[in-house]
Chains A and B, each alone.
Chain A
Amino acid sequence: MNIRRTLPSVALLLAAATLTAQDTTGTLTGRVTDKAGKPVPGARVQITSPRMLGSRTAATDAQGSFRIPLLPNGTYAVTADAPGFLGAKGTLNVLAGQVMRFDLALRPIKEVEKVQAATVEVVGTVAQVDKTETVTQTNVSLETLSQLGNSDSSSILQTLGLLTPGLSTSNLAEQGALKIRGGTGHGTKMLLNGATITEEGGGYALETGTLADMVDSMAVVQSPLNARFGNTDGGIVSIVTTKGSNTFSGSMRLNFSRPFWKANDTPYPTRTGAMADYNPATDEISRRFEYTIKGPLWKDHITFAYGGVLIPNQYYSYPFDILQNSPSVPTDPNGIFYRNPANGQVVRRSNLWAQGKYTTDTQAQTYNQFVVFAQITPDHTLEWNYTQDDEDYVSTYGVINGDMSGNDAYKMRTWNLGYKGVIGSHGVLEARYSRTTRAFPHPYSPANPPVYLNTYPTGTPDGSGAYLANSLLEGWDNGGYTVNTNGFVTDRGDTLKGESGTLNYQHIIEKAGSHIIDVGLQYETFQWDTQAQGAKYTFWAPGQIADDLSAADIEGGGVKDPSLYAGKYIVFNYAALQSDLDPNYPAEAIMGSGYESLIPRVRVLSGSEQGSYKMRTESYYINDLWTINSHHSVMAGLRYDRLKVSDTVKTIASYGIPTIRLEYKWDVYGDQSRLVNASFGQFHSRQPGSLFYPMITGRLANSSTLYWNQGTAAPYLVDKAALLTLSNYGFVANQSFAGESFTVDPGWKAPVSNEYVLGLRRAYRNGGFWRASLVYRNWTNLFDFFPGEVFTAANGSAAFHSVLRNDSGAERKYKSVEIEWSIPFTKKLTFGGNYTFSRLMSNVRNMLDSPSRSSSQTNNSTNFRSWYLNYMTRDEFNPVTLRDPQHSIKWFLTYDLTSGKVKSNLGLRGTYTSGAPTSRTFSYTIPYEVIPGYYDGPTGANRNTGGLINSLAKYYGAGQFTNEDQWAVNLQYNIEFPIMRTLVWFTNVQVDNLFNSRSHGIYALPGQAARDNIGGPYTRNPYGYQLGANLSNIYGKDSQGNYIYRNGLRSVSIQTGVRF
């Protein structure tokens, strides 16, 4: 269908619509001039694309400008013609959420009368962006993604991170979450086709929407200035999927990856100290099958796209290892206590772990995504998306005992319906509704309850950092799963529902320049439905499966008889152990440092939790982009968010808060080539619902932890049946929740980040660009739990109400320099990258000295307050200010090797990150011996004391310590051959960590003279956990005899398939 619009008003309308990351479409803008640069009003600009149904046409205004919004991602052919001129044409790519500028110069026909049969000439030029963008974002096309990494989900997100400045995923609280410009992980908004799909915890990389051949583009919005954006204190990650077209297309893609593939086939130390050849176990090749098909359902009116992922059972095997050993430091979180049968003395026994053995996790997943797109008329469209994700996990051996864990499952469904259309002559209306459901059905029965055996390794065997904590032991109690009296199992609310709606109307006013006004409303709801009622028992199991032990590990010697150990678990009686302990080893140190995982225990929860609770945010906004002239524009936005948290009985928290956004842009030459911007924005953050869990009416208020109360303090073996017998537990080591009360201060508000930016963007005619920004953010409304009034608890003791309220003494600040560039040196060679120098500062008060401190409050302080801390280290004794400076450099180089019909390209990706901040001031390293000679620097308080310390606080080192710098170079090679007609065979190879940094490990091997035993003011082994995570990466030894290891495994991923 060829739509021709000639009304100037419509052209102006089309010139109006601004694009934002929430949009799933892009905009084409430009100017038609004659050869002398004078505008050509009334010229007809027509665009066509295989990605679009029919064509779109606009007429230029008096300045020769045109603008065509609501364009799906894709390559567009643009033509322009006007009476008396030779036509002009060109092509360009349009990305979702981005404004592309395309200028065309027409030659008068009289100048080309001698040109026979010529009707058009290629004269269009592309500039990267338009100044009417109202956000700062890094937009990435699928083409770019595929040139730099295989497009399985993790690689897509990895590549996105590579291309984006101001983004962090590690070294801060909420590890693994995407954090933007110092924002929190849960404050990062995740969008799929414009609909919110943010996880409850928020900010974590989602499988959703990252199906390779379904992704059209992705964007990271570092500065969501337009008032349309909210519920984020960091930024937005937006994924836009394809919608299909009038042409049938499809693909099949097989992905094989292997993280250990010839990574570094060096020997590694076993728990006996001997070196063993690295010997990959069983099936380590991860397989992933993807398939898509797209096409018309009703030509020119309705299209569809479907994509599916099948991940068959796959096994992640890795040597399970704990390297740290410390028989003499009571606070070392490794090893277990053990009573020497020879003298009865309780000692700590290290190496009682399945070091060097293999743990296997099994995971299967299916993922399906459907898109139906309908073009009612060229100016009115409907879009429907549906995705489903089913995952099943089984973990066996070492970490989790398979026959007891059964299957763990996760099911997610999300769908959304969107409308976009031109209303009248000056308006564009968008409406979208979305709904997401997540369920955690656990197919357990009372006869086979799940008991997760948590060994609390300090380094996770697969190198993924918080693997155990985040994946397997996820939940509000962060340890173990819960069995209620009916045998239903849940670790938290059984289903999570998310719902969001948005209605935006954009209107153009031509007065004193032009105004593009967005006005709209949004709402987002997260709801938790809890099916489990009544008493629940959480089994926190012992840490050791006995199958793997050598005889020397049990009772000090003897000949191992496998029949005695198979299926058994090591347990010991905490009460007896405690009475045996050396008084110098405080029980708190034991219980606070991971040893409790070696003592079976059950947490009994009682109460009558209400069925559900809900967090709802309603937002209203108005935003005006005032383009004063070709050089100057001003944007101003006002947003009002209203948050309400409630359960089925009461309102827990409710408030409203306004935020403002301001931006000035100066187009230096009026040609988009040099754009200076200065902005101020306030971003109200979103809080996970778990923050309010303690306030739920009838919450599981009383929690008693019962410890194993059988046998002796010496480790001995029991079978599973004994482990699951409640009567074997009885020693009440502590109680939490009982007598506690949590409330929200009526004046409480969620944090708001205030952003100030000064930036410059330079765009080149060849499509290259760079931008540099100075960014400063600070946060207001930081919060914590504070002691409230005293009351008498149920157990008769005095207790404090804990009040969630804003903390005026808390600070969080972020400063950064961001530079981003992409330069196509030639048509084949492109060099891009970004540099971020950031400094995140936050402080924490001495909450652990709070008179109302309780175990759960400490937990709250860790889990909630620390969202706004730089990293998870806290000082128990002094308020501290934590600083987190970091240099991050990421670059990529792509080279097109296409020859004839064979297309191929080579990509290199590099990263450098300065050493992550660490601390020698871990609160666990409380010295237990007098240590003279301590020196805290030339300006330290202890500088003149002759080296003698006189208080514990002196052990907390002064200054910012850092881990080792890390860098890596990765390689990508893609090739594709035409087979017949449109059928193409392709193969992509990705090699990660082709080259990468090496670190010097300092750790102990049993029986060897190594630095395994150092007391003092710092963590004994700052690298040990890394070694544990990268055992197979040991590269050699340095001059000190310490192992050198590579920071990350060399991994290979191969994709092959066909597309048409």
Chain B
Amino acid sequence: MGIIKKIKRNFALTFKRIFKRGKIRRIGIYGPPNAGKTTLANRIVRDFTGDAIGSVSDIPHETRRAHRREGVTITSNGSAITLDIVDTPGLATKIDFQDFMAKGLSEDESRRRAKEATEGVIEAVRWLDDLEGIILVMDATEDPFTQVNVTVIGNMEARKLPLLIAANKIDLEESAPSHIKSAFPQHPMVPISALTGDNIDLLYEQIAEHFG
């Protein structure tokens, strides 16, 4: 494509974005297994609709299908934004059924969970193409340089879509959200506890600012 054509196309895209401002955006909640994605999705949906989106568990890959909640209106500091929230299964590059057995599940149950988890990861990857922004949930007690985080961030950067990092589990003493900030300084990051609600209002402010 020629340079003039590309410039024309980019102007067209910019105008399109301006006129799409009133549209409801579809936002995905992504992250590795057990980062607290569903806990956060439940908190957001509960705070603004009084409902929940999915079940949570200490065993990884509890969420094995994506769940979408449409038309969640988030209000913060007098402004409001309506989003479709998609809670996605944890992304991973490996799934070993023996890890589930180590958590106390039977072999049959572990094999079934592993199979469903692989399908869930595929579903989460495919959802990436249908979203207009992402909240990437990272466990602030873990090393942030995981391939899953790098891949999700890379995909959003390549498509120039907004990304907000939620550094979760700050209620735990060993959490270090500053490690996440220094690992990915180019993106906004909010330290939160989806479980206790610490800093959750700050997250809502950032959601309104970045996805509005």
Q: Do they bind each other?
A: no
